[in-house]
Amino acid sequence: MNILAFDTSNEYCSLALLREGHIAVRETLAGQNHSEMILAMLEDVLQEEGMPMSEIDGIAFGAGPGSFTGLRIACGVAQGLAFGSDIPVAGIGTLHAMASSMEGERIVACLDARMGEIYHAAFERIDGKLVCVSEPGLYRPHEVPLLDGAGWSGCGNGFSVDGLLDRYRGCMARVDEKVRPHAREIACLALEEFESARGTDAALAAPLYVRNKVALKESER
């Protein structure tokens, strides 16, 4: 199965082509230029791998949470490519993708959501499969769900937000703040979705924003 995946949920733009166990990856620091870069990266990787779009079996994208603008770009590109070629689409959670890149049985993925808040989700590996035990949510550091026991691994720049490590004192075995969502893990997670026929029609694809308000009112600051 041939899967195209990309992520534009953060300042980096990443793309991956998973082809019969081989994965080709592109990544660049895009800043605010994801929309200008993603299609050029796509053309480059397809040309290098000698694969036409007609041979792509599924398109996956980082659904969120993350940058609102970035999530809309990823979803829009996925829909545009899928509509043109009648290809199923899978939106993969960015926190899930981050956690899947980590070793360990118990993993917390956190992203800095700005305004003193974080995006948070917790996962456990059960029979080798990563299962979400705390759904993606938006929290202030002192309000994140408590963890059961010790030995957890943490990932993401959310752990750099003041207060989170204090909240999880005694729970964390290690933390890697440099982990971010990447198309590589999104492609691998999407493989199971497509193989199980859980891909969706492009018209149904949607970002996972989590936050409903993009700015605080003056009275709330």
Walking along the chain (221 residues) 10 residues at a time, the average pLDDT comes out as 97 96 95 93 96 96 97 96 92 98 97 96 96 97 96 98 96 98 98 95 95 47 34
Name the 3-class secondary structure at 168: coil
pLDDT at 136 (0 to 100): 97
Q: Which CATH architecture has domain 2-94+180-204?
A: 2-Layer Sandwich (3.30)
- Is there a contact between 194 and 17 (Cβ–Cβ < 8 Å)? no
**Closest among 139, 145, 131, 126 to 93, alpha carbons compared:** 131
Beta strands in 36-189 (DSSP E): 58-64, 89-93, 106-114, 117-126, 129-139, 152-155, 172-176
Where in the sequence of the chain do the CATH 3.30.420.40 domains occur?
2-94+180-204, 102-176
pLDDT at 141 (0 to 100): 97
- Is there a contact between 120 and 134 (Cβ–Cβ < 8 Å)? yes
Q: Cite the DSSP H helix spans in 24-90.
A: 34-49, 68-85
CA distances to 61, 73, 94, 109, 110 from 154, in Å: 23, 28, 14, 6, 8
pLDDT at 176 (0 to 100): 98
Token match 């964390």: residue? 172
Q: Residue 14 corresponds to which tokens in the numbers above?
A: 């990443």
Q: pTM here?
A: 0.93
- Is there a contact between 209 and 65 (Cβ–Cβ < 8 Å)? yes
Question: Which fold is adopted by the domain 102-176?
Answer: Nucleotidyltransferase; domain 5 (3.30.420)
